Amino acid sequence: MEKKLYKNFLQQNGYCLIKNFFNIDEVEKLRKFVVKNYNNNQDIYLSNNDSALDTNLLSKRYFQILKETIGNDLVYFLDSSTFVDNIQKNTGIFHIDARGDEKDPDSTIYKVWRVGVYLQDHKNNSGGIKMIAKSHKKFLCNSIKKIYYILRKFFKNNYSLKSLIPSFKYVNISSEPGDLIIWNGRTHHCGRFKRLKKFKDLTFHPFIERHLPNFLIKNEITDRLVVFQNWGLKDLTVTEYLKYRLSQKSDEKYWQNNNNNKGKFPFDIFEENSIKIIDDSNINS
């Protein structure tokens, strides 16, 4: 896919896959970085003591592809993490990353996006991320409680009927080391899809995948190493999302570590790339 088409695809489908963005050397550096730093519990850009990110996640080329795909007025709020998992788990449930969001998804744009860098082969194996195409324009109705809550909002706020009609286009993202995945905060997704040994491009609802017999499944073959990042465009969406993140008791240590080590953050590089930094000190500015 050409660069100019990534933005349109993301806007239309709620996600996009950017193939072969990092080269072999950059992937290897990222793998070593993830293994070394995944227990730090702080923003990844505060852990760059060995310059492992300089040629990949801190490069002008990386920031440029984000701008071309998400938008020029990029906002970053020190919200990135690394993840290592060698425990085989079942397929997850569909969920969204949006927080503090009360708008109609059919008629508004949610301006927080998630970036995932999966450092193993999910084109031929299980364990990757599953999306529902165009679901960023729909409410997530995956429980009786959520349906009740959404219906109450629907009649109170006069939401579009289209936002209640679900999409059923399940997509197992065929990512490989070196690829980037970007998805909107409203996009319905789940982790650890299962890929069949035969008919490997068939996709199912997570409920079905959790009950498939193991002999049909192509297993994960390596530890799951991932970098996750949250990015936004200057908007009330970002403010509300960050306020929610800052309010979570389970994340207190993460934000405390960020504040304690903020002097290590490469503000100059972000400024050179015209990326605004928002944190608890300037959240309303």
- Sign of CA pseudo-dihedral 257, 263, 264, 270: positive
> How many domains in the chain?
1
Residue 284 lies in a domain: no
Q: Read off the amino acid at residue 22.
A: F
Taking a C-beta distance cutoff of 8 angstroms, is the pair 73, 175 a contact? no
Torsion of CA 226, 12, 273, 76, to 10 degrees: -60
Residue 283 lies in a domain: no
Higher-confidence residue of 81 and 47: namely: 81
Contacts of 144 (CB under 8 A, 6+ apart): none
- Sign of CA pseudo-dihedral 230, 231, 235, 239: positive
Rounded distance between C-alpha atoms, residue 285 and residue 146, angstroms? 33
Buried b (16+ CB within 10 A) or exposed e, 85-114: eeeeeebbebebbbbebebbbbeeebbbbb
35: domain range? 3-277
In the block, tokens 């730093």 appear at 37
Rounded distance between C-alpha atoms, residue 40 and residue 52, angstroms? 15
Over residues 96-138, the pLDDT tens digits come to: 999 988 899 999 999 999 999 999 999 999 999 999 999 999 9
269: pLDDT strictly greater than 90: yes
Place 85 in a pLDDT band, splitting at 50, 70 and 90.
confident
Residue 285 lies in a domain: no
In the block, tokens 């390596």 appear at 222
Residue 183 lies in a domain: yes
Over residues 184-210, the pLDDT tens digits come to: 999 999 999 999 999 999 999 999 999
Taking a C-beta distance cutoff of 8 angstroms, is the pair 250, 205 a contact? no
Place 223 in a pLDDT band, splitting at 50, 70 and 90.
confident
Q: What is the CATH number of the domain that holds 138?
A: 2.60.120.620
Query: In the chain, how many H helices and how many E strands?
Result: 8, 11
Q: Is 80 helix (H, G, I), strand (E, B) or coil?
A: strand
Residue 85 lies in a domain: yes
Residue 42 lies in a domain: yes
Over residues 60-74, the pLDDT tens digits come to: 999 999 999 999 999
pLDDT, mean over the chain: 92
Residue 282 lies in a domain: no
Q: Read off the amino acid at residue 251.
A: D
Residue 52 lies in a domain: yes
Q: Is 281 helix (H, G, I), strand (E, B) or coil?
A: coil
| DSSP symbols for 44-71 | GGGS-TT-TTTTTTTSHHHHHHHHHHT-
Q: Which pLDDT score, from 0 to 100, does residue 196 have? A: 95
Place 42 in a pLDDT band, splitting at 50, 70 and 90.
very high
Q: Which pLDDT score, from 0 to 100, does residue 279 have? A: 84
